[in-house]
Structure formats: C-alpha cells, structure tokens
Chain A
Amino acid sequence: MAAESTALIDLGVLFAAVAIAGLVAQRINQSVIPFYILVGMVLGEYVLGRLDFPALLGTELVPHGSELALLETEFIYLGAEIGIVLLLFFLGLEFNLDRLIAARDRIGKAGTWDLGINFGLGFVLGWAIFGSFLPAFLTGGIVYISSSAIITKSLIDLGWIANDEAEPMLGTLVYEDLFIAVYLSIATALVFGGGDVVEAVGQIGVAIGFILVLLLLVYLGTEWFQRALETDSHEFTTLRVLGITVLISGAALSIGVSEAVAAFFVGMAFSATEHVHDLENLLEPLRDTFAAIFFFWIGLVTDPSLFPGVAGLIVAAVAVTTPTKLVSGYLGGRIYDLDERRSVRVGLGMTVRGEFSLIIASVALAGAGAGLAQGTAEEIYAFAVGYVLFMSLLGTTLMQYSDRIESVVVPKLERVSAPTPQPIDD
C-alpha cells in the first residue's frame, strides 16, 4: 500500500493531469469524474508503470515507465480521504431535515420505489455472482446510489433545473443520500468485522452508538456550532470547520466507524446554523480540489488488467440496472404528478452513477483480507470502477439526447397509460 513519500513534482503531475482531463471533459460536454479516474489509471503503476519504453522504442534514452508512474503514496491516499470527507460534509450541509419532512410523502414514495427496485435487483445480481451476503450487499449499494454531483450539475447545465422534473430527481437524491449515510456505517462495520458475526454485530453497535452521539450533537449542538464560527475572518472560519470536521471524521475512523458518515452528520450540524452560505462558498474550491484527488486516486489504484475478469459482471449490471433506474425514475416522476415525457426524463437522469458508488468501492478495498477475501474485494472494486466509468458517461449522454429518446418512447407510453376507447385489431 502507501509507503513512499510524495515528491512535489508528483503532485504537480497529478494536478496538471486532472486539470487537462477536466478541460477535455468540458470540450466534449461530458462529466469530469470519469476523466479524472481515467487519467489516474493511465498515470498509475498499472498502465504507465508497465510500459517498457526502452524495449518499445529501442533506445535506452527513455526511462522505463515504472520510473515515471505515480505511486499511491500516503499523501495521495490521505488527500483522497479528505476528498471523501468533504464530499459527505457538503451533502450534510445541504441536507435539510425540515424540507425532507415537509415533502416526506412524495420523497418517501419515490425514494422507496427507487431503493426497492435498484438495491433489490442489485443485491440479487451480487448474490448470483458472488454467492454470499456481504459482496451482494456491497453490489446492491454500488448500483443503487445515483450521483448527486453529476446529476445536479447536469440539471443546471441543461436548464432542466427550471422544469418540473428537477423536483423528483433532487428529492430522490435526498432520500438516497440519507440512506447511504446509514448504509455506509453498516457496510464499514461489516467489512471490518472480519466476517465474524459476533464481531460484526459489535462493530455495528459501536457504529450506531457513534451515530447516535453525533445525532445528539446535531440536535443539541446547533448553538455551539453557531458560536464556533462567529468570526469575520475567512481564514479562521475555514480552519475551524476543517478542525472540527476532519478531527471528528478521523476519530470515527480510528474506532472503526465510517469517516464519511461522521462527516455527513457534522455537515448536518452546520446546516442548522446561519453560516451555511459562507461555508458553501468558502469550502467549495477545497472540496473540488480534494474530490479531484479522490477520483484520481480511484484510477491510480485500479488495475485495468482486472477488467476482463469482471467484464461479465459489468455488462450484467449495466443491462439490469439501467432499466431499473429508468423504471424507478419514471415512477418517481409519476408520483410527483408529472406527465410521461418529464417522467421519462427523471428516469434518464437517475441512471447516472458516480462518487458514492466509488466510496463504497473504496470501503470494499479497505476491507480486503478482513471481512472480504482479497480476491473478492479487488473484484468488487474493479467492477465498481468500470461500472461507474460506463454509467456516468451513459447517463449524461442519455440526458443530453433526451429529446430524441422522448420522441420515440413517450407516444408508446401514452398509448399504454391512456388506451384508446376502440379496441384495435391488428
């Protein structure tokens, strides 16, 4: 794993690479996330590190690729960790319990359909392939959770944010985010529980206890969180928030509770204060910087030579879970009283999977040799990365070409939902 130190030049290469990847993604109108992952993969030990340039080019003047490849150093690993913490912190920050309660009927219905259909079939698929509970549980999570980051950005870019389809989409994402906070704490406990039931139950107990303490902190500590940031200085605000968030996340991880979940609840605690807008503005660039390191790291530790081994699983998952999201999204749209066309759009948008599937994958990888066999963990990880690469590109493309898809699909749906009074014999 991570052993060596990072030279400044390595970090320079990392940032330059993600900056160029972002530029390319922007040029071809695609989401940046898959490109960050790909560039990390290319510059890592599994691609660049295996290129024997001297042999290829027949000259000793060029160093072997392994001398140029970036390694997973402690710094990059921790940077990725901070990326996860900040992603989930923002999720908590923008999570509003009152809103959820106010719209609980619709969000609850749409979200439960989404959960039942996608997690259910994902779990069945995982069970069919791996034949045991924990891998199935992880597969279910990976294919269930849509990408808040990509979907929200696409909604704004395409101008859908002004239309009615934005509400069921964002509402369902809120439900998913809350579910994933609970799910991650259980998944982390199971993965680190060493596969032993008693130990796993103990771990889940610790996790639930920790979450209850955090919830109590959220519930009772608003005043304190409000006071903690009473300062006019951006510098102090930023440092205090990082001090509180990273410290609590780190404390959680050190007792085996998911750092992501802890960060989510700390974000939620701050969401009740008056500092929300300041925090969003101040920390957004920081979040994006470390999130880029996280996606780069995901690519860096991915061995593409494992893809052929999980290709069947990826194809099966794409074939099963693209339609499931289309169906659950469509149902969500109907629950919000949208017409066929807009409900189809909701389904198209919800197919995008992204950052959270990767966070679950990193949990699986971290548990290699504990709750999961080394081989199984690597398989799940490679599957998740390949799956997210494909689904993030597919989903954003579906959204971009929704006009054409609607013109084909919507008339058929209208015929089904509003059958003509005369029976047609053909």
Chain B
Amino acid sequence: MTIYESDLPGVGKKFEVELDDGSRLVIVTHNTGKREVYMKASADADGDKLFEASDRLARKIGTILEGAYFQPVQTEQVETMLSDETYLEWYGVTENAEIAGQSLAKARVRERTGVSIVAIQRGDELISPPTPETVLEVGDTLVVIGDREDCLEFEALLGDDHRA
C-alpha cells in the first residue's frame, strides 16, 4: 500500500493512493478545506474527477470508509494509525472476555496492557471518557489507544488471542 504525498503551493496538498489493480485514487485537499477526488487508470494517466466534497462531508465519507458505522469485518481489524506507533482501535467485549462485568478500576487495563480506554460505545450511548467506576458490559465497543504490542496484549485479555 503506497501513498504519495505532495505539496501544491497556494492550493493545498495532494495524496495519491495506489490501488490493488494499479490504478490510483488522487485526493486533493484544498487549503479552503474542500476535497477533490480523482481517479487515474494508471500512474501515467490523466485524472478523471469523481466528485468534490466540503470539509464536513469529506470527514463523514472518511468515517464511513473507516468502518465506523458498519463493520462487516472482524472488529480487531479496524484500526487507525495516529502516528507511527500509536493505534486507535475498536474492540467488542464478548462473553468470554475476562474483564466483562468488571469496573475499569478493578480490571486495571492500563497497568496490565498499557492501552487506554478512551471511550465506550454502548448501544446509542457514548461514554467518554469512562470513569474508574464504569463497568464493562458484554456487547460494549471499546475505543482504545495504544501501541501495537499493548493492543495485542489487550486482545489476549479480551479472549481473542488468535492473533497474539
């Protein structure tokens, strides 16, 4: 997965994302916040404009692409890299998770794994930030921040240790 980034002085920034079939998706982010999305059949082809979107709409589209609304994939595969080594990940609490039913203070997640739970999604409700008294329930979606190692340890704690 190669992404080329280049500056467009006076306009903004350009990102080229290489897709699997060799075509390229070009995203131009204007200084004004507007995004323009182009498609190139190959690296040398001219870009065909697909659509443009305002800053707000672009962020909305981005979260849909990120899988924030509907995740047919396994939750532990959803990840957002915040920097080189820090990930923002979503995990579901299943029945075989050791920490289900415990409060955060009792579960001692940070001491044991190093990740921080920044928010808990429970049905339509979002608990952010969770307090030490917050109890983790089966079916919760946990939004956590941590490095690759910490996230793997946390997965083990949740009982999904097939990737660890």
Contact = CB atoms under 8 A, between A and B. Distances in A.
Contacts of B33: 277
Interface stretch (B6-14, B62-70, B76-84): B6-14
A163 interface: yes
Contacts of B46: 159, 163
A99 B11 contact: no
Interface stretch (A168-176, A195-203, A212-220, A376-384): A168-176
Contacts of A281: 32
B10 A161 contact: no
B49 A174 contact: no
A162 B43 CA distance: 11
A56 to B, nearest CB: 47
Contacts of A276: 31
A174 B11 CA distance: 12
Interface in B22-61: 26, 28, 31-33, 36, 38, 40, 44, 46-49
A280 B31 contact: yes
Nearest to A280: B31
A167 B6 contact: yes
A10 to B, nearest CB: 33
A161 B9 contact: no
A111 to B, nearest CB: 12
A94 interface: yes
Contact of B26 (A103, A148, A156, A162): A162
Contacts of B11: 152, 155-156, 161, 166, 170
A96 interface: yes
Nearest to A403: B46
A367 B6 CA distance: 42
Contacts of A339: 44
A277 B34 CA distance: 12
A350 B38 CA distance: 23
Contact of B49 (A96, A103, A162, A167): A162
Contacts of A96: 7, 9
A407 B32 CA distance: 35
Given A148-B10, A170-B9, A339-B44, A161 B36 contact: yes
A95 B10 CA distance: 7
A155, A159, A277 pick with most chain B CB within 10 angstroms: A159
B1 to A, nearest CB: 19
Contacts, number: 56
B9 A95 contact: yes
Contacts of B7: 96, 99, 103
Contacts of B32: 280-281
A161, A162, A166, A171 pick with most chain B CB within 10 angstroms: A162
A174 B26 contact: no
Contacts of B38: 159, 162
A163 B47 CA distance: 6
A161 B44 contact: no
Given A159-B47, A162-B28, A162-B40, A173 B10 contact: yes
Contacts of B44: 339
Contacts of A174: 9-10
A171 B26 contact: no
A95 B11 CA distance: 11
A275 to B, nearest CB: 13
B106 to A, nearest CB: 42
A163 to B, nearest CB: 6
Contact of B8 (A148, A166, A277, A280): A166
A162 B31 contact: no
A277 B31 contact: yes
B34 to A, nearest CB: 10
Given A159-B49, A163-B46, A94 B10 contact: yes
A280 B11 CA distance: 11
A162 B36 contact: yes
Contacts of B49: 159, 162
B14 to A, nearest CB: 7
B10 A170 contact: yes
Contacts of B40: 162
Interface string A70-107: 00000000000000000000000011100100010000
Interface string B89-116: 0000000000000000000000000000
A336 to B, nearest CB: 11
Nearest to B48: A159
Contacts of A162: 14, 26, 28, 36, 38, 40, 47, 49
Nearest to B43: A164
Contacts of B47: 159, 162-163
In the complex, the 5 A-B pairs of residues with the closest C-beta atoms, listed nearest first: A162-B47, A162-B38, A162-B26, A94-B10, A170-B9
Interface of B: 6-11, 14, 26, 28, 31-33, 36, 38, 40, 44, 46-49
Given A156-B36, A162-B14, A170-B10, 8 more contacts: A152-B11, A159-B48, A162-B40, A162-B47, A162-B49, A163-B47, A170-B11, A280-B31
16 contacts: A94-B9, A95-B9, A96-B7, A148-B10, A159-B48, A159-B49, A161-B14, A162-B28, A162-B36, A162-B47, A167-B8, A170-B8, A170-B11, A171-B9, A280-B31, A280-B32
